[in-house]
Chain A
Amino acid sequence: MWNDWQTDSYEGQTSELVKIKGYQDDEINAYVARPNGTGPYPGVVLLHHMPGWDEFCRETARRFADHGYIVICPNLYERFGHGTPVDVAAKARGEGGVSDESVVADAKASLDYLKGLSNCTGKVAVLGHCSGGRHSYLAACRVTGFSAIIDYWGGNVIMPSDRITEKQPVSPIEYTKDLSCPILGIFGNDDQNPPPDQVDQHEEELKKHGKSYEFHRYEGAGHGFWYYDRPAYRQEQTMDSWGKTFEFLSKHLS
């Protein structure tokens, strides 16, 4: 929780780039932030949002590490080349985004990386914002071994047939029956994608399949309300949902 530590307790963390073998055995970069110490610590796979493997994601990774999690954030856009995060993300956008198949495999590789660490408890959550929320849902449904998933305003979890593409061939909600862990959903009621009625549909589908879920919908917030560099930022809703995030992770990764 915010400001919830003892002023005489040790604190330190390390963040660095590592290489992992992802989709089709490609070597990809991943950003890892971890507390210094023997742990053992639970893990988090952070799947970056559509604007890329960017500063927001690295800062978010470090914040989770501050709170006692080993975090890995793979570069899902590795195959589009290297440059500034924005140039790379623009290239990905121009090519219709990254394929779901590639993301799921990179998420699995990230999970395996964490489970292979001697100071990781082996309890790992997958989470992400925007497209990262959608990708996290896909990963939690299609990869076994995650202990929790957090979907922050992931749009296109429900995809009408005219939005199906070669790279995104299945509407993620179709995989709900295979969801293997509890889910926390964080949404803004002013969001256009996912709009509130789609969040309701998603909730109904989770209920139908008897899944453990916790959805929070915020008034006065739209899409991306954690993004402090954008006008969408909402301070009160952001801080409240950070609190719900840590409560949820503490409950399911202990």
Chain B
Amino acid sequence: MCTMIVENVTIDGSGKGSKGWFNLKKANVSFDHPFNAQFDHSLNIDFVNDDLGIEHRVAVELSRDSAQKLIEAISTALARGDEQLGST
């Protein structure tokens, strides 16, 4: 069912959508039905910029395990980056 679980976070960066690169302002992180991935529920991240319109969206839909691995990979990559370059 629709869990309506969503977390919103302000972000800064770029994403490549169907119309090319655009500035990202927000990530909507939900655990709910995916639109495409073949799971009942998934960890979904929509990287968006509401100022540019509804079609400016970079979407991923991940299994729970995949999402957990991604968290670990991001943490590891950030830690390695900090080690080499210092926190930026």
Query: Could you tell me if B33 and A231 are in contact, using CB atoms closer than 8 angstroms?
Result: no
- Cβ contacts under 8 Å, B53 to chain A: 81, 83
Complex Cα gap A65–B48 (Å): 38
Question: Which residues on the A side are within 8 Å of B57 (C-beta)?
Answer: 87, 90
A93 to B32, CA, bound (A): 9
Q: Is there contact, CB below 8 Å, between A230 and B38? A: yes
Pick from B2, B26, B48: contact of A155, CB under 8 Å: B2
Partner of A156, one of B4, B28, B38, B44: B4
Residue numbers in B under 8 Å from A131 (CB-CB) = 1-2
A201 at the interface (CB under 8 A from B): no
Contact with B along A74-106 (1 / 0, CB 8 A): 000000111110111111011111000000000
CB-CB contacts below 8 Å: B46-88 with A:
46, 48, 53-55, 57, 59
Chain A's closest residue to B3 (CB) is: A193
Contacting B1 at CB < 8 Å: which of A89, A156, A230?
A: A156
Instruction: Please give, as numbers and ranges, the residues of chain A lying within 8 Å of B54 by CB-CB distance.
Output: 80-83, 87-88, 91
A87 in contact with B55 (CB, 8 Å):
yes
Rounded to whole angstroms, the CA-CA distance of A131 and B36 in the bound complex is: 18
**Which range contains the number of B residues in contact with the other chain?**
20 to 34
Which residues of chain B come closer than 8 Å to A91, judged between CB atoms?
Answer: 48, 54
The smallest beta-carbon distance between B42 and chain A, in angstroms, is 12
| Binary interface encoding of chain A residues 143-176 relative to chain B, with 1 for a CB under 8 A from any of its CBs, else 0 | 0000000000111100000010100100000000
What are 13 contact pairs spanning A and B, CB under 8 A? A50-B33, A81-B54, A86-B36, A88-B54, A90-B35, A90-B44, A90-B57, A95-B6, A97-B4, A154-B1, A191-B1, A194-B1, A223-B1
Q: Beyond the given A87-B55, A130-B1, A168-B4, please list 11 additional residue pairs across the A-B interface where CB-CB is below 8 A.
A: A50-B33, A88-B54, A90-B44, A91-B54, A93-B44, A94-B8, A94-B48, A131-B2, A153-B1, A155-B3, A156-B4
Residues of A within 8 A of B (CB): 49-51, 80-84, 86-91, 93-97, 130-131, 153-156, 163, 165, 168, 191-194, 222-224, 230-232
Cβ-closest 7 pairs across A and B: A155-B1, A94-B28, A193-B1, A50-B2, A83-B54, A131-B2, A81-B54
